[in-house]
Every structure is written in structure tokens, then in C-alpha cells.
Amino acid sequence: MSDLLQTYQQRLLETFGGSTIEHAGDVTVVLPAENILAAARMIHDELGFDYLVYVTAVDYWPQENPRFHVAYGFRSLAQKLTLYVRAPVSGIEPVLPSIESVYKNANWQEREVYDMFGIRFEGHPDLRRILMPADWVGHPQRKDYPLGYEEPQYSFNFDEIKARKPAPKE
């Protein structure tokens, strides 16, 4: 890993506090959730990471504090660096600031995280469901949401399943 990236990570840690996780040679900076907008501004304007790669979340249920990690990937095309950032949040309906004002493509990415995990982004201009139907109940990618497994129909249980399987009108 390059020294430049290390100094950037140090700067982020000094300004906003937090810790680091290391795996497979990648260092992830864990920053407090309330600072994420300020951090994104610094990452974009001062450190020169002009391209947001992804926004996603991980659910650590049944662990309660922190229950979710919102993960970000930033990339600098000129410096050829990639910076991984995470922000831990907790609660049934966690809230953290939106970085849509800094990176335009965070708009849909954050909507997807909201749809799938129920994490609200404060200051997002259009926080609606994006993938699921608007009247869907629950947030499918949470760990406490069931996969929705349906029993396959074999010859031995054919009649039993056929009785409850919905059939269309002609």
C-alpha cells in the first residue's frame, strides 16, 4: 500500500476520529457516522478522490451496537488510489447524512441502501424505494428478513402444493 494513501487515512482519522480495519492488504477507515458528510467533502475537495465507487451496507444482526456498517469506496483517477471508508450506525431506523451533494451518483446508491436496509439518509433529495415496489413491507437484505423460500414441487408433494399455489384465471 502506498504511503500517500496512508497519510490520507491518518489525516481522516486525526480530523474525525475513528479506527481502522485491515484485511487482505486493504485498510478500511471506520469513521463516526455523523461526520460522514464532512469527511466526504474533505475526501473530494482536499484529498482529490473524484469518483465514488460504491455505497453499500452490511447488517450485523443480531449484534446491536453497531448493527449496520455503511461502506463507501472512493477512487482517485489521477492518483490511482482507492480509499475504503465505513460508518457504523445502529437502531431499527438508523440515520446518517447523505453525501449526494458531493458525489452525484450517491443518489441512487443511497436509495438502494435505504430500500434494502432501511437506513435513512438525511438531506437526500429523493429518498424513495428504488428496486422494490413502493408498497413493499420490510427491507429485504436485513439479516432478520427471511429469504422468502418457497417449497419446490416434487412428485411426492405435488397435490399438496398445487392446492395452495395461486392459479390464474383464464
Partner 1 sequence: MGVEQKLGNMGVVTLKLEELVNWSRANAMWPMLFGLACCAIEMMSAQASHYDMSRFGMELMRASPRQSDLMIVAGRVTRKMAPVVRRLYDQMPDPKWVIAMGDCASCGGVFNNYAVVQGVDEVVPVDVYVAGCPPRPDALIHGILTLHEKVRGEKFKDWA
Partner 2 sequence: MTQIQEVTLDEIRHLVSERALTGETMLLNMGPQHPSTHGVLRLLLELDGETIVNCIPDIGYLHTGIEKNMEAKTYQKAEVMTDRMDYMNTVGNNFTYCLAIEKLVGLDVPPRAQAIRVILAELTRIQSHLVWLGTAALDVAAMSVFLYCFREREMILDIMELVSGQRMMTTYIRPGGVWRDVPVEFETAVREFLKIIPYRIDEYESMLSKNPLFLDRTVGIGKISAEEAINWGLTGATLRASGPDYDVRKFAPYSGYEQYDFDIPTRTEGDVYARYILHIEEMRQSIRIIQQALDKLPLGPVRSNNYKFVPPPRSEIGTSMEALIHHFKLWTEGFNAPKGSVYVATESPRGELGCFLEGDGGPKPYRVHFRAPSFDNLQVLPKLAKGHFVADLVAIIGSIDIVLGDIDR
Site residues, partner 1 (CB under 8 A): 132-133, 140, 145-150, 152-153, 165-168, 170
Helix (H, G, I), strand (E, B) or coil at 55: strand
Tell how strand 95-97 and strand 68-76 pair up: unpaired
Q: Residue 62 or residue 146: which is nearer to partner 1 going by CB?
A: 146
Helix (H, G, I), strand (E, B) or coil at 87: strand
- State in angstroms the smallest separation of the CB of 94 from partner 2: 16
User: Residue 152 binds which entry of partner 2, partner 1, none, with Cβ cut-offs from 5 to 8 Å by kind?
Assistant: partner 1
Q: Which residues, numbered 19-48, are part of the site for partner 2 (CB under 8 A)?
A: 21, 23-24, 26, 28
Q: Which regions of the chain does DSSP assign to beta strands (E)?
A: 19-23, 26-30, 51-59, 68-76, 81-89, 95-97, 120-122
List the one residue out of 12, 166, 26, 3 whose CA is nearest residue 84: 26
Q: Residue 23 or residue 169: which is nearer to partner 1 going by CB?
A: 169
User: Residue 165 binds which entry of partner 1, partner 2, none, with Cβ cut-offs from 5 to 8 Å by kind?
Assistant: partner 1
Distance CA(144)–CA(166), nearest Å, equals: 27
Task: Confirm or reject binding of residue 63 to partner 2 (CB under 8 A).
Answer: no
Q: Residue 155 or residue 167: which is nearer to partner 2 going by CB?
A: 167
